[in-house]
Amino acid sequence: MKVKYFEDTDTLYIEFRADAIAQTRDLDENTLLELDANGRICAMTMEHASRRMDAKHFSFEQVAA
């Protein structure tokens, strides 16, 4: 999984899997969902991210099973 924030365009890109993108769906006017050929979510793009979430205070925590 990769998370990228592009400050110059205020865009947040979250890649869940590195598979080839077969389809892109608009969830709303500022959110795109990218799917592989089997309909699995590969990535999500959010425009105007700083207005929609607190991107500057992002943290990641992996919890052992």
Residues linked to residue 19 through DSSP beta bridges, in sequence order: none
pTM of structure: 0.82
pLDDT given at position 43:
98
Mean pLDDT of the chain: 90
Mean pLDDT of 28-45: 97
- Identify the band that residue 42 occupies on the pLDDT scale cut at 50, 70 and 90: very high
| Residue 32 and residue 4 in contact, taking contact as beta carbons nearer than 8 Å | no
The pLDDT, as a whole number, for residue 58 is: 73
Q: Are 32 and 45 in contact (CB under 8 A)?
A: yes
Q: How far is the C-alpha of 42 from the C-alpha of 65, rounded, in Å?
A: 23
The winner for highest mean pLDDT among 3-12, 13-22, 46-55 is 13-22
